[in-house]
Amino acid sequence: MDHSHSVGREAMRPIIETEGLGKRYGRTTALTDCNLRVPAGRIVGLVGPNGAGKSTLLGLTCGVIAPTTGSVTVLGHRPAAGAAQLARVGFVAQESPVYSGLSVADHLRLGARLNPRWDTSLAQRRIRQLGLDSAQKAGRLSGGQRAQLALTVAAAKRVELLVLDEPVASLDPLARSAFLRDVLDFVAELGVSVVLSSHLLGDLERVCDHLIVLAASRVQLAGDVTDLLAVHYRIAGTPAGLGDLPAGAEVIHVDRTARESTVIVRSSDPIPGADHADLEDIGLAYMTRGAEASVRGSSHTPVEAQR
C-alpha cells in the first residue's frame, strides 16, 4: 500500500534522518548507532519487543529527550528547535496523554491556545463524529475514547509529522481498528507523514508502507514495505530438504521443530518453490535474530531495503 502524497522538492527530503544516534541512561544503553533515512509521505511502522528502544527513538525524534551520541533531524531541522519546529510535529505518547480533570471541550480550547496552526473546525468535526460529549471529563472516557481525543488534538495542530508511541497497546481489537482507520483518514485528508510504534505486527501490516525493526537497542531492518516483501521468502520443509539457495541469499532466521523447519531468507533472486514472507514473518525473524545476536555478544549489520 502506497500512501505517498508529497511532491516536488519536499518529497525528496527525509522526514527523519539519524546518524550514529545513541542514547544511554547511566550504564544502560537504550539505543545504539541508529542510522535512518525515512522518506516523506510514509506511514512508518516502528516495531520491536519491549525494551528494544522504540520509545527512546521517538522521544529523540520529538525532542523530548536529548541524544548521548550522534544526530537526528526531523523535517530538516533539529527536534524541538523552537516554537515553529514544535508546531510541525504532533506526538501522542503511550497511555494517550490527556488531562483527566479537563473536559473534552477544555482540551480543544487548550489546543487552540497553544498551537498557532490549530484547526478548530477539524477538531470539532472529529469530536462530533466520535460521539463524544464536550462537557465530559477525559478521565471518565473509555481507553479508546481517550486515545481518539489525543489523536484529535495532535491532528488539529495541522502538523507535518504525527508520531504515535504504542497508541493502541491497551485498546481492544475494535477500538484498535477504529483508531488505525482514523490515522489513515488523517493521512489522506491532511497529507501528514506518520510514525507509529507497536509490538502488534498485524496492526502495522494493515496501515504501514515503511518498516523499521528494532531489537536489542539497534535498528535491524529499515525500508519500504513493498521493497522488503519483494526480497524475503518463507521456506518450509524438513530440515534436510530445504534445497539450495541462490548465490547471495541470506538466511535471516531458522525456526526448527522435530518435524519441520521454517526459514526466512533474504534474496534478490527468486527462490523456486518458496512463498514470499509476509510482514509479520519478516519482523519476527529480524527481531529474533537481533535478540539472539545480543545474547551472544555479537551484532548484525542493519539491513536496509534498496531504494
Residue 199 lies in a domain: yes
* 143/140 Cα distance (integer angstroms): 9
Q: What is the pLDDT of residue 134?
A: 95
Quickly count: other Cβ atoms within 10 Å of residue 9's Cβ: 7
Asked if pLDDT for residue 301 goes beyond 60, the answer is no
Question: Tell me, what CATH number does 79's domain have?
Answer: 3.40.50.300
Domain that holds residue 126: 8-215
Starting at the edge strand found earlier in the chain, the sheet holding 89-92 runs: 89-92, 161-165, 193-198, 43-47, 210-215, 218-224, 303-304
Q: What is the pLDDT of residue 224?
A: 95
Cα torsion 219, 224, 225, 226: sign: negative
Q: 210 has which bridge partners?
A: 44, 224
Q: 75-103: string of b/e by CB count within 10 Å (b at 16+)? A: beeebbeeeebbbbbbbbbeebebeeeeb
Closest CA to 264 of 274, 251, 249, 276: 251
What sign does the dihedral 219-225-227-231 (CA atoms) show?
positive
Separation between Cα atoms, residue 87 and residue 159, nearest integer Å: 6
- The three cell numbers of residue 27 are 550504564
- pLDDT score for 204: 85
pLDDT band at 95 (very low <50, low <70, confident <90, very high): low
Same domain, 192 and 245: no
Q: What does pTM read for this prediction?
A: 0.87
Would residue 94 count as lying in a domain? yes
pLDDT tens-digit readout, 23-59: 999 999 999 999 999 999 899 999 999 889 999 999 9
Residue with cell string 544511554 = 24
Same domain, 37 and 176: yes
CB neighbours of 298 closer than 8 A, spacing ≥ 6?
none
Q: Within this chain, do residues 152 and 21 fall inside the same structural domain, yes or no?
A: yes
Of 215, 240, 260, the residue at which a domain comes to its end is 215
Q: How confident is the model over 108-140, as pLDDT tens digits?
A: 999 999 888 999 999 999 999 999 999 999 999
Average pLDDT over residues 85-105: 86
* Pair (270, 159) in one structural domain: no
pLDDT at 2 over 70: no
Please answer whether residues 253 and 283 qualify as being in contact, where contact means their C-beta atoms are separated by less than 8 angstroms. no
Whether residues 264 and 131 share a domain: the answer is no
Q: What is the pLDDT of residue 35?
A: 97
Residue type, position 186, single letter: F
The predicted structure's pLDDT at residue 245 = 83
| pLDDT tens figures, 247-297 | 889 999 998 877 788 899 999 999 988 999 999 999 999 999 998 887 776
Same domain (yes/no): 163, 130: yes
Both 241 and 194 in one domain: the answer is: no
**φ and ψ of 40, to 5 deg:** -70, 160
| 283 three-state secondary structure | helix
Tally of domains within the chain: 2
Residue 5 confidence (pLDDT) = 47
Q: Is residue 188 part of a domain?
A: yes
Among 221, 227, 195, CA closest to 293 = 221
Residues 18 and 149 in one domain: yes
Which one is predicted more confidently, 95 or 78?
Answer: 78
Last residue of a domain, one of 171, 191, 215: 215
pLDDT of residue 3: 52
Same domain, 78 and 183: yes
Domain boundary among 215, 249, 276: 215
| Confidence (pLDDT) at 302 | 55
Helix (H/G/I), strand (E/B), else coil: 303 = strand
CA gap 63, 67 in Å, rounded: 9
Contacts of 287 (CB under 8 A, 6+ apart): 47, 48, 49, 52, 213, 215, 220
Paired residues of 29 in beta bridges: 24
Is the confidence at residue 173, as pLDDT, over 70? yes
In a domain? residue 240: yes
Q: Are 249 and 138 part of one and the same domain?
A: no
pLDDT in tens, 133-164: 999 999 999 888 998 999 999 999 999 999 99
DSSP string, 181-217: HHHHHHHHHH--EEEEEES-HHHHHHH-SEEEEEETT
pLDDT tens sequence across 188-246: 888 899 999 988 888 888 899 999 999 999 999 999 999 999 999 999 876 554 567 88
pLDDT, averaged across the chain: 87
The answer to whether residue 3 sits within a structural domain is no
Contact 36, 54 (CB under 8 A): no
Q: Same structural domain for residues 195 and 240?
A: no
Do residues 145 and 273 share a domain? no
Residue-wise pLDDT for 81-93, tens only, equals: 888 888 899 888 8
Residue 1 inside a domain? The answer is no
